[in-house]
Amino acid sequence: MRIAIIGTGNVGSALGTRWTQRGHEVIFGSRDPSSSKVQKLVAATGANAASIRDAVVDASVVVLATPWDATQRSIAAAGDLTGKILLDATNPLQNMKLAFGLTTSGAEKVASWARGAAVVKAFNSTGAGNMLTPDYTGQ
């Protein structure tokens, strides 16, 4: 499966690492795919990197793993997400506080910005360490 991951921080890196280990084709979407940070991640995982728009074009699934303050901008950079499955791993936090009130959710905001995508909230309630090493035996 071709998976585009928008975001190269802890969550995006952990998911990309595990999925490439499982044989999936992963492409990281980044503002700066040629940066040393992104290139180090590509070398470590065997994934690829491209602009956000180029990463999502042929992806079967798109993962949104951005800091909240970059989320709307990243969705806009992705272009048309109509018909795409968008896994939303974000949390609507700024300075460790909710970014907006209690009448809507982060996923609802993401869905309003990513019109036409099927938004699924996932991976936002566990740490990147659990994603990288999901061993729960004996717990």
Single out the residue of 99, 91, 100, 97 nearest to residue 127, CA to CA.
91
pLDDT in tens, the chain (139 residues): 999 999 999 999 999 999 999 999 999 999 999 999 999 999 999 999 999 999 999 999 999 999 999 999 999 999 999 999 999 999 876 666 666 666 777 888 999 999 999 999 877 656 666 566 666 666 5
The pLDDT of residue 127 is 63
d(CA 32, CA 1): 24
117 contacts 81 by C-beta, under 8 angstroms? yes
d(CA 114, CA 81): 6
Single out the residue of 120, 29, 116, 119 nearest to residue 74, CA to CA.
29
Percent helix, percent strand, percent coil in the chain, to nearest 5: 35, 20, 40
Q: Please tell me what DSSP assigns to residue 44.
A: H
The pLDDT of residue 107 is 82
Q: What is the pTM of this model?
A: 0.86
Q: What is the DSSP string of 100-121?
A: S-SSS-HHHHHHHHSTTSEEEE
55 contacts 32 by C-beta, under 8 angstroms? no
